Structure 1
Amino acid sequence: MKIYGEQITAGILAGGEGRRLGGVDKGWYTVGGRPLIEHTLDRLKPQVGRIVISANRSLPRYRSLGYTVHGDDTDDHRGPLAGIATVLKAAATPYVLVAPVDTPLLPLDLVDRLAAAMRSETDIAVARTPDKLHPLHALMRRSLLDDIQAALFSGVRRVTEWQQETERVVVDWADANAFANINNDEDAEAVTGQL
């Protein structure tokens, strides 16, 4: 089974509250002289056919980048699982790659490697580094929308909890920094030299 980039919509999850960064909109937090959303777009654009952004504030500012932007269906901050549901609903392709806005070192082979791991019985391919699983860096079938909505309705909020109920394959990256996320100024300084 071969999955091509044009069959994939990348959904950038930019709806977080940014509490660890003092409440700022993470997508517009500057690292290496550019906002995180620009780093993420630059990494994902060559890998997929379409991009949508899931955000719960600064929507006009995100739209000014030229991409479709959607907010969650509710305003009760149900977390990234709700953002994934938003992206799946907005996508017009059979596959969706999700990635948070705060990982500016996203691998340039992310889609190739996750897509290569998908099989006919696989629902989701998830990235893992030596230190941990990265459930928000995943390629999944768009047809999982009903499953996610049912999980949210039943009170599930954690992405890992929902993913455990799917046919999941894990793909390993040797570089522990491949999915380094930015939660504070020190994190930003640590990745700046690698951008």
Structure 2
Amino acid sequence: MKATREQITAGILAGGAGRRLGGVDKGWYVLDKRPLVEHTITRVQPQTAAVIISANRSLDRYRTLGWPVVSDEDATYRGPLAGIARLLQAASTPYVLIVPVDTPQLPANLAVHLAAALDTDIDLCVARCGGRRQPLHALVRRELAGGLTRAVAEGVSRVTDWQDALRIRVVDWPECDAFANINAPADARHLAPRR
């Protein structure tokens, strides 16, 4: 049985430091007159039953968007893996669609295609484009929350290291622009003409 929309929560990773954007909270970086977090919610909300945002600052501002907000366990930024752990803990659906806040052109069919590849013997499905895995674009079983929380506590910090220890399946995408992210102002300038 494949995961359906009603069984999936979108988990948005918005807890980064935004160093290459001058330290701004990346979720509130404005592209096309809208903050990145709004672009991301617009993309994932139709694909999922609920949304949860992982953030480590601007918490009250994120809450104004109407979705639950969670922070890293110890209130300090420890990387996206800690954010994923919190999202899995907070979700009430069996599956969580993990996405970063900085890819405003996310595929409108990301959840559907990842869910189609998530067989009973697979822990998570992750997107790949141009031969490059997109580890922060993945459909994950919520039941992995406990193991991930322990892995983070034991010092695992790279998302790919955690994923490689699981039963994963990669799903290839033909259009890599869907995963173009904004890490610096130049990325936003490059992306804007294509939108």
State if a TM-score over 0.5 links the two structures.
Answer: yes
- The TM-score normalised by the length of structure 2 is 0.98
- 1:146 corresponding residue in structure 2: 146
1:180 and 2:187 matched: no
- 2:89 corresponding residue in structure 1: 89
- 2:56 corresponding residue in structure 1: 56
- 1:16 corresponding residue in structure 2: 16
Provide Cα deviations, 1:2-31, integer angstroms capped at 9, x if missing partner: 211010010000000001111000000001
Secondary structure of the residue that 1:27 maps to in structure 2?
Answer: helix
* Alpha-carbon distance in 1 for matches of 2:169, 2:112: 14
- 1:170 corresponding residue in structure 2: 170
**Total equivalences in the alignment:** 195
Contact 1:30–1:36 (8 Å) recurs in 2: yes
* Alpha-carbon distance in 1 for matches of 2:141, 2:98: 11
Which amino acid in structure 2 is aligned with residue 36 of structure 1? L
Which amino acid in structure 2 is aligned with residue 152 of structure 1? V
Q: Unpaired segments of 5 or more residues in structure 2?
A: none
Provide Cα deviations, 1:138-180, integer angstroms capped at 9, x if missing partner: 0010000111111112110000000000000000011121111
Which amino acid in structure 2 is aligned with residue 22 of structure 1? G
Contact 1:131–1:176 (8 Å) recurs in 2: no
- 2:106 corresponding residue in structure 1: 106
Contact 2:11–2:53 (8 Å) recurs in 1: yes
* Alpha-carbon distance in 2 for matches of 1:84, 1:31: 25
Which amino acid in structure 1 is aligned with residue 187 of structure 2? D
Which amino acid in structure 2 is aligned with residue 165 of structure 1? A
* Alpha-carbon distance in 2 for matches of 1:185, 1:125: 31
* Alpha-carbon distance in 2 for matches of 1:140, 1:179: 18
Which amino acid in structure 2 is aligned with residue 46 of structure 1? P
Contact 1:105–1:180 (8 Å) recurs in 2: yes
Deviates more, 1:97-106 or 1:126-135: 126-135
Report the alpha carbon displacement of residue 186 of structure 1 after superposing the two structures with TM: 1.3
Contact 2:12–2:51 (8 Å) recurs in 1: yes
Contact 1:126–1:138 (8 Å) recurs in 2: yes
- The TM-score normalised by the length of structure 1 is 0.98
Secondary structure of the residue that 2:53 maps to in structure 1?
Answer: strand
Which portions of structure 1, spanning 4 or more consecutive aligned residues, are displaced by more than 4 angstroms? none
- 1:66 corresponding residue in structure 2: 66
* Alpha-carbon distance in 2 for matches of 1:168, 1:131: 16
Secondary structure of the residue that 1:97 maps to in structure 2?
Answer: strand
Report the alpha carbon displacement of residue 99 of structure 1 after superposing the two structures with TM: 0.3
Report the alpha carbon displacement of residue 193 of structure 1 after superposing the two structures with TM: 3.0
